[in-house]
Amino acid sequence: METALNHTKPVMFDPLTLGKRAQRIRIEKELSIESLAKAAGVNKNTVVRFEKGISTRMETIYKICSVLEVSPLHLMEGRLIKGRDYDIRKHETDTQKSGTKRIPRTDRVQLDMCHGMTIGDLNYRLPEGQLGAKVMEIFSREIKEKKTHPGEELLFCLTGTIGIEISDVTAVLKKGDAIFFWGTEPHCYFNADENKDVSVALSVVCGGD
């Protein structure tokens, strides 16, 4: 059963977070950079700079947001949408079935991969970039300061129970669970397992501009 996601208070943002949120809305609306710039009455390079997190005048941000039909405040609050901004894969149990045929334990990893356990599984992909992977040991049960980075991230729980906060969303991953999300959203991890001193996760990041 999937752990519930809870909405918390809005988080602080940086220009890159704001620009990438606007970029995802633009892509969702099937607007090109050129068409957005023309409708907003700004230069194409201005839109590019804004989406890359380069400092942009508030007047210009209002013009861009008007075309996107979203308020700057909405972008700052960052209410995340499942499937666009993040997605969760839960570890399948022994009762997993395909039609009426039971799936052997040895086939389960391959099946999960076929269902999208890959970087780039989100609907709106960043340009392909460098892959980076690391194993993290998470000791603290306290919420730390949130960080951001370019690209997409896959966090896979190897042992224990790992909590993750991504902007206004909180999720709990148990062994075998994974979550995909945009690294430009402020996020942090914590050890949610009361019975273990440390939980271990694999973090894979696909960088982008």
State how far the alpha carbon of 105 is from the alpha carbons of 93, 109, 111, 176, in Å. 9, 8, 10, 13
- CATH code, domain carrying 45: 1.10.260.40
Give tens-digit pLDDT for 4-35: 444 344 445 688 899 999 999 999 899 999 99
Write out pLDDT tens, residues 111-162.
Answer: 233 233 334 444 444 445 567 788 899 998 887 788 888 888 999 999 999 9
Task: Pick 36 or 75 by higher pLDDT.
Answer: 36
Last residue of a domain, one of 53, 77, 101: 77
CB atoms within 10 A of CB 7: 11
Are residues 115 and 186 located together in one domain of the fold?
yes
183 and 112 housed in the same domain: yes
Please indicate, yes or no, whether residues 113 and 150 belong to a single structural domain of this protein: yes
Q: Is the pLDDT of residue 205 over 50?
A: yes
110 neighbors 118 (Cβ within 8 angstroms): no
User: What pTM was estimated for this model as a whole?
Assistant: 0.69
- The total of structural domains in the chain comes to 2
Which alpha helices (DSSP H) does the chain contain, by range? 15-28, 33-40, 44-51, 58-68, 72-77, 108-114
Residue 73 predicted with pLDDT over 60: yes
Q: Is the pLDDT at 172 greater than 70, yes or no?
A: yes
38 and 109 share a domain? no
In the chain, % of residues over pLDDT 70: 74
| Rounded distance between C-alpha atoms, residue 193 and residue 177, angstroms | 14
Distance of alpha carbon 22 from the chain centroid:
14
Judge whether 132 and 150 are in contact, CB under 8 Å.
no
Tokens standing for 87?
């997605």
CA neighbours closer than 13 Å in the CB half-sphere of residue 109: 3
Nearest CA to 161 among 200, 188, 120? 200
Which of the listed residues 30, 50, 77 is the one where a domain comes to its end? 77
Beta carbons within 8 Å of 125's beta carbon, 6+ residues apart: 152
Residue length of the chain: 209
Q: Which domain holds residue 62?
A: 15-77
Structure token pair of residue 184: 């430009």
Cβ distance 162 to 3 under 8 Å? no
- Is the domain of 142 the same as that of 39? no
> 3-class DSSP state for residue 44?
helix
Can you tell me the distance from the alpha carbon of 121 to that of 154, in angstroms, rounded to the nearest whole number? 9
Using CA atoms, how far residue 96 sits from 2, 3, 90, 103, in Å, is 15, 18, 12, 6
Confidence of residue 83 (pLDDT cuts 50, 70, 90): confident
Structure tokens at 98: 């395909």
User: Same domain, yes or no, for 102 and 180?
Assistant: yes
- The answer on 89 and 73 residing in a single domain is no
In this structure, the answer to whether residues 118 and 173 fall within a common structural domain is yes
Q: HSE, CB side, 13 Å, CA atoms: give it for residue 4.
A: 3
Q: Is residue 128 part of a domain?
A: yes
Instruction: Tell me the CATH number at 162.
Output: 2.60.120.10
